[in-house]
Structure 1
Amino acid sequence: MFRDQTILVTGGTGSWGHELIKQLLQKSPKEIRVLSRNETSQVEMKREFHQDPRLTFLIGDIKEREGLLEAGKGVDYLFHLAALKHVPVCEDQPIEALNTNVIGTQNVIKTAIENNVKKVVYISTDKAANPSNFYGFSKAMGERLIIHANTLKSNTTFVCVRGGNVLGTNGSVIHVFKNQIQNKAEIGITHLEMTRFFLTIEDAIKLLFKATYESRGGEIFVMKMPTCKIIDLAEVLIESSGVQNVKIREQGIRPGEKLHEILFSEYESQSTVYYDKEYFVILPAIKITGLNERYANFQPVTLKNYNSGEDVMTKAEIKAMLIKGGFI
């Protein structure tokens, strides 16, 4: 699919983008354009990839449509990763989150259609399912825009991939906890019963490719992800650190935070099917030609919703996951 193709990755210097580009380079593309606002990250990434001639680094912002249109010329595939992702930042600066996560996504859609891009893949989040914070609302709106784009008269198909927390990404709780252990001998946890979905970045990108290859356009592919209690994750990191007498302090849930995340809601479960062992697929409420027919023989889910409070990992399983990801 990607051999001799030109690919644009928005937000390409972030953790998702970094691993995505690493794996894309193994698929013999003609060119990968890395669009982001962070000059320093681009310089570091260029050095890390030994100035691979297939990589083109572009300083740009998805809020600025003209620059995005230029970046999209001649592009075959577009991975839309750029977003404001931190819940407190989006709560404090909702207008900026709206402009980036919603208006920026619409700019990506227009860019793709005008440049006749083959497929756009939008990376979403569990927080878009029954959202309780501005980040989640803005990503949910982005999902709806991406899905609706399949009804427009164009040759471009659009698909969403929804996942949970990816271990080790920028601002990850892993890094926060490890820093607190080493510098404070104390970990701050919002709630002792809080759970989250987790996956290694390598596995997340492999699943992302699968959705890219097999999607028709208009679906939301939902990754099946292991879940764990944050307190168990913290205790595994403490035990593995060798630091003695580390305290755990409960801080209280922050504005917009949920005790348990969900990857699809009770409402969405009515139009969700089992795709395979790794994915669910949420079908849209709007009519997209041929999509319901494509999934007519897939089994509807029997789950009321898909939430992180069920089937949590044991501490031994958490430790194995952290070792696999290279965090302990």
Structure 2
Amino acid sequence: MLNDKSVLITGGTGSFGKAFVRTVLDRYPDIRRLVIFSRDELKQFEMSQTFSEQEYPALRYFIGDVRDEARLRRALEGIDIVVHAAALKQVPAAEYNPFECIKTNVLGAQNLIEAALDSGVQNLVALSTDKAAAPINLYGATKLCSDKLFVAANNIRGDRELKFSVVRYGNVMGSRGSVIPFFLERRASGTLPITDPTMTRFNISLQEGVDMVLWSIANAWGGEILVPKIPSYRITDVATAIAPDAQQAIIGIRPGEKIHEEMITDSDSFNTVDLGNYYAILPVSGQYSTEDYCSKTGAVPVPKGFAYQSGTNPDFLSVAQLRELIETHVVGKKID
């Protein structure tokens, strides 16, 4: 699929970017070019110690910011496929610095769309978040706006062989800033802070996120918001899995935080279909009909009023399953 193709990933030095690069280099040895586009030269230097251009001649490290449209246009020259992972995503920082978040997550998205339309890009997949569904914080609101921009970009592509799609998934296990590394760091103290004992979250591994993006590159029609079927966990079970003897101190939820996360709201149910391993929220702008999409993909419309929420998800991880996943995907060894 990616052999003999040129691929660029924005935010390429982040947790997802590293996992994506590792997977692509492993599965597609004949990829023509793989460009890591990011604004932090130190992270690029550190990443190049693992993935060097000498060992992997297809690799390129390109310093740039999605806020800079001219730099994006330069970076997209000769690129076939774009994966958009760049974002400001820390909820408290976004609340304190709202327009900085808007500049990157919204204006940066539009810059990328404009640059892609004026280049030879054929396929663009943008990463979203569960916080974009019925958002209550600025980060979620900017990602919802970004999702809308990428979906609507299909309306202005004209006769270009270019499609825009979105992948929306939940919390990535062990990613920077997530609760699992925080609990691992605090476990020696004997006390783990719990925002609310009823809180739940979706869970996905980095590799599952990468695999879903690759599936989207191969199968998306353009205009979909694709959502994986993934398990949920209770925040108290995560604490127990990491430090079963630690005290769980209830501290209350933070501003802009939900008790349960949603990825599909009941309002989305009217244009959502079940693809088997994934759901797809289809565009409402008439790019194609739900009937045509279902007949050609085997998808089935979900019931009216369907919602996909972490608290009502039928699939929950047990404490034992969480402990095994944390040992496998985060720590890399048995937790003492």
TM-score where L is the length of structure 1: 0.94
**Aligned residue number for residue 110 of structure 1:** 114
**Aligned residue number for residue 49 of structure 1:** 51
CA 1:291–1:39 in 2, change beyond 3 Å: closer, same or farther? Answer: farther
CA 1:13–1:279 in 2, change beyond 3 Å: closer, same or farther? Answer: same
CA 1:32–1:290 in 2, change beyond 3 Å: closer, same or farther? Answer: farther
For residues 196 and 289 of structure 1, what CA distance do their matches in structure 2 show? 33
State how 1:1-328 maps to structure 2 within 5 Å. Answer: 1-26=1-26, 27=28, 28-51=30-53, 52-152=56-156, 153=158, 154-182=160-188, 184-239=189-244, 246-276=246-276, 278-289=277-288, 293-296=292-295, 298-302=299-303, 304-310=306-312, 311=314, 312-327=316-331, 328=335
The CA deviation string for residues 185-227 of structure 1, in whole angstroms up to 9 with x for no partner, is 2211111110000111112211221122111101111011110
Identity between Structure 1 and Structure 2 (%): 35
For residues 234 and 299 of structure 2, what CA distance do their matches in structure 1 show? 32
For residues 57 and 48 of structure 2, what CA distance do their matches in structure 1 show? 10
How far has the Cα of 1:172 moved from its partner? 1.8
Q: Select between 285-294 and 47-56 the one with higher mean Cα deviation.
A: 285-294
**Aligned residue number for residue 242 of structure 1:** none
Verify the 8 A CA contact 1:98 1:138 in the aligned structure 2: yes
CA 1:41–1:291 in 2, change beyond 3 Å: closer, same or farther? Answer: farther
For residues 180 and 115 of structure 1, what CA distance do their matches in structure 2 show? 48
How far has the Cα of 1:100 moved from its partner? 0.5
Letter in 1 for 2:213: L
For residues 2 and 291 of structure 1, what CA distance do their matches in structure 2 show? 29
How far has the Cα of 1:317 moved from its partner? 2.0
Large movers: runs of 4+ above 3 Å: 289-292
Give the unaligned 5+ runs of structure 1: 240-244
TM-score where L is the length of structure 2: 0.92
CA 1:318–1:77 in 2, change beyond 3 Å: closer, same or farther? Answer: same
Verify the 8 A CA contact 1:217 1:291 in the aligned structure 2: no
Verify the 8 A CA contact 1:218 1:291 in the aligned structure 2: no
Verify the 8 A CA contact 1:113 1:155 in the aligned structure 2: no
For residues 326 and 70 of structure 1, what CA distance do their matches in structure 2 show? 36
Letter in 1 for 2:183: F
For residues 185 and 37 of structure 1, what CA distance do their matches in structure 2 show? 38
After superposition, the CA RMSD in angstroms is 1.5
Q: Select between 285-294 and 218-227 the one with higher mean Cα deviation.
A: 285-294
Letter in 1 for 2:300: Q
CA 1:290–1:306 in 2, change beyond 3 Å: closer, same or farther? Answer: closer
